[in-house]
């Protein structure tokens, strides 16, 4: 199967997951803060690090890394949405929410990347 088709198919799954996560978070937590975006960004950071490290260690085939990383996670993670939502909060005078959004996405996302790398290294060192 071509890489383009895999990216497209997996991208559809990632987009649907993002949509469901956004709806669920708005229903559960309200829409005062972009919790759905935060969740998909943090989970996406972890999973992309995990998949990238697995591919680097030759534990998964490159075509699955492309399909999963570029396709599904590319559609799931939403840093472009993160930027838009942050600016909208600033424009609305909600600078506390804007700063919280930036801080949580960046800091927790970086921790998730590190944990993803550690997870693969722990799995493959056994």
**Secondary structure, 3-state, 9-76:** HHHHHHHHHHHHHHHHHHHHHCCCCCHHHHHHHHHHHHHHHHHHHHHHCCCCCHHHHHHHHHHHHHHH
pTM here?
0.80
The DSSP output letter for 34 is -
pLDDT tens for the chain, 126 residues long, are 699 999 999 999 999 999 999 999 999 999 999 999 999 999 999 999 999 999 999 999 999 999 998 999 999 997 888 998 999 999 999 999 999 999 999 999 999 999 999 999 999 986
Q: Where are the domains of the chain?
A: 3-124
């Amino acid at each position: 199967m071509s890489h383009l088709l895999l990216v497209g198919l997996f991208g559809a799954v990632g987009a649907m997951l993002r949509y469901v996560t956004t709806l669920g978070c708005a229903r559960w937590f309200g829409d005062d803060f972009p919790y759905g975006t935060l969740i998909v960004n943090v989970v996406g950071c972890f999973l992309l690090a995990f998949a990238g490290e697995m591919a680097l260690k030759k534990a998964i085939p490159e075509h699955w890394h492309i399909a999963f990383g570029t396709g599904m996670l590319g559609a799931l993670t939403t840093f472009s949405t993160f930027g838009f939502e942050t600016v909208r909060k600033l424009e609305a005078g909600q600078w506390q929410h804007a700063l919280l959004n930036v801080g949580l996405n960046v800091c927790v996302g970086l921790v998730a990347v590190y944990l993803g790398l550690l997870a693969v290294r722990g799995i493959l060192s056994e």
